[in-house]
Amino acid sequence: MSDDVEKTTPEASAASEAPAAPDAPAASDAPAAPAAPEAPAAPQAPAPKRRRVLLTVLPFVLVLAAVGGAAAYTVRTVDGADRTVTTVVWDGSGPKPGLDPAAKADRGRTDTELSRLLMPVPEGYRLGPDIGELGNDGETSGAEATAALKETGRGLAGKQRRELDAFFDKLRVKGVAHRTYTRGVSVPYARTGFDDLVLSVRVVEMEDERAVRTMHERQIALLNSFGVLRKGPKIEGHKNATCYRMPKDGKDPLDSIACSAYEGGISVTVEADGPKPFSASTVAGLVKEQLDHITSPGESI
């Protein structure tokens, strides 16, 4: 497989895709805090370390970036390897799968409205590795997700944390569902090697559609401000989807793509990684399939 992505500098990407300067949200939405221009400090970390931390932090940034005042906190997280955001952001047992004799378990659960928003496991793939205690096909209630999000504000000043908590409350998260997919040799995969491709999809349903759009726009501006992410593939038919590739690292055998998108009140995060060479077009096709499934569910598993 080959790299299908048109190479574009991070500066060009930021100029064309960011809806506003990264520091604008901090000036209007957040309390006095270290200014967002601190963001470029992230590239100072050693390349392998930076890539690893970005890979862990990215899904989290896609939420925190919504709050301008949290930008500096996010940058400190990215810059410090010891704060890799324990991606147990959606901690909690969540709704338990009900009995569904008609369901094809190997294609994913369908017992809740939110789980049905996740695309069925495609032909040639299978359910992937577990994500901590959440397993490989789980769901978390809105209350649990909101409580977990608020925990991310630890370390912020009192006023900042209160405003961050208030923002998360305003999002009115209804629930979070995730599913992992893999293609390749059936062996353990811990972002270290053997499977051909591992895909992780997370959908977050919120009551406030406007907040979903605003969050997406701000997160893209912040991610562009890091100046280290490469431009990812475009997703055909979905203008509200933006993808990034991790920084090039000749010594790392893996490559990764992360995409953020939204459809109405649904926020979607897709992460894909696997050994080089890495097919961006394959990932783009899977992201398109997921977003198409949300807009036109069609098949019932």
- Local mean pLDDT, 10-residue blocks, the chain (301 residues): 44 42 42 39 42 43 39 36 38 49 71 93 92 84 85 79 85 91 63 69 91 87 85 94 87 88 93 87 96 78 42
So what's the pLDDT on residue 120?
A: 95
So what's the pLDDT on residue 268?
A: 94
In a domain, 19, yes or no: yes
In a domain, 4, yes or no: no
Q: How far apart are CA 48 and CA 45, in angstroms?
A: 8
Q: How far apart are CA 63 and CA 173, in angstroms?
A: 12
In a domain, 211, yes or no: yes
In a domain, 300, yes or no: no
**Residue 122 domain boundaries:** 10-91+109-295
In a domain, 96, yes or no: no
> How many domains, the chain?
1
Q: How far apart are CA 252 and CA 48, in angstroms?
A: 7
Largest CA distance in the chain: 55
Global pTM reads: 0.64
So what's the pLDDT on residue 126?
A: 93
In a domain, 134, yes or no: yes
